[in-house]
Amino acid sequence: MRLTPAQLEQFNREGYLFLEGLFTPEEAGLLKEEAENIYKLDREEVWREKSGIARTAFAAHTYNEAHRRLGSHPRLIEPIQQILDGQVYMHQYKINAKAPFDGEVWQWHQDYGTWARDDEMPEPRAMNISVFLDDVTAANGPLLFIPGSHKKGVVDAGHDLKTTSYPLWTLDRDTVSKLADEGGCVAPTGPAGSVLLFSSLLVHASPPNISPLGRIIVYLSLCHVDNHIRAFNRKEWIAHRDFTPIEALDDNCLTEMLTETA
């Protein structure tokens, strides 16, 4: 799968690209069922909110077959290779939940800010993919983006170790306000199976979910193989140390699994 010139121009201008319904409801349903099974596991990779409910599951592609296949899916890998102009490896894979009523905030941040400071990734030649496993609406804690903020480079940030169970290098209110004055603030929403591609420099966050509607999103963070991390300060299942280029599977790899389990 290749992006069109118009899509590439939009990505370069806004810092993100929304692809509605890239995966079928059946594919999204399979991945959601497997994600819910993963959240039940007693593994160190499964992080929980202070309330005890699941917040995120790291590295699921290393211990779950459906998510292994998603991590090498051509609908995801090929566009990122196109944007980054070369082969990529998996820097991070996580499944984030916003549980009904109890899903907590993700503070304003840039992902590359963390990757540069904590992992010594040389350049922002890396980016994110998010795959919606539920319908994402204005009500259930959607991602918030500041369009164009990826053009600002690495923004000053502080290391927040208290707000949530997961530490982040976060931006203060004044900085976020100034960026939003220039670029606005958007919340891309859409049905399960939709995909967001966004720059690792794009400033983003997500609000708490106080609705009765849960939402699960898978995040793949892909990095050009020449740009791999130089420091190993975080656990391997958070910041991967296998820089082997991803070989894309067949486009029907998830539908094959649906057939196998029918």
Q: Look at residue 184 and give its three-state secondary structure.
A: coil
CATH number at residue 61: 2.60.120.620
The one-letter amino acid code at 35 reads A
Q: 2-6, 90-94, 101-105: lowest mean pLDDT where?
A: 101-105
Beta bridge partners of 190: 136
What average pLDDT does the chain have? 93
**33-49 pLDDT tens trace:** 999 999 999 999 998 87
Of 42, 98, 46, which is closest to residue 67 (Cα–Cα)? 46
> What does the pLDDT read at residue 15?
97
pLDDT tens sequence across 131-166:
999 999 999 999 999 999 999 999 987 766 566 556
Q: How many domains does the chain have?
A: 1
For residue range 181-205, list pLDDT tens digits in order.
Answer: 999 999 999 999 999 999 999 999 9
Tell me phi and psi for residue 152, to 5 degrees.
-85, -5
Amino acid 11: pLDDT: 97
- pLDDT value at residue 55: 85
pTM metric for this prediction: 0.93
Residue range 209-228, pLDDT digits in tens: 899 999 999 999 999 999 99
Per-residue pLDDT, 67: 98
Nearest to 207, CA basis, from 105, 136, 132, 135: 105
The whole domain housing 202 covers 5-261
Q: Which helix (H) or strand (E) holds 115?
A: helix 111-119
Question: Using an 8 Å Cβ cutoff, are 160 and 167 in contact?
Answer: yes
Q: What's the DSSP call for residue 134? A: S
**What's the full length of the chain, in residues?**
262
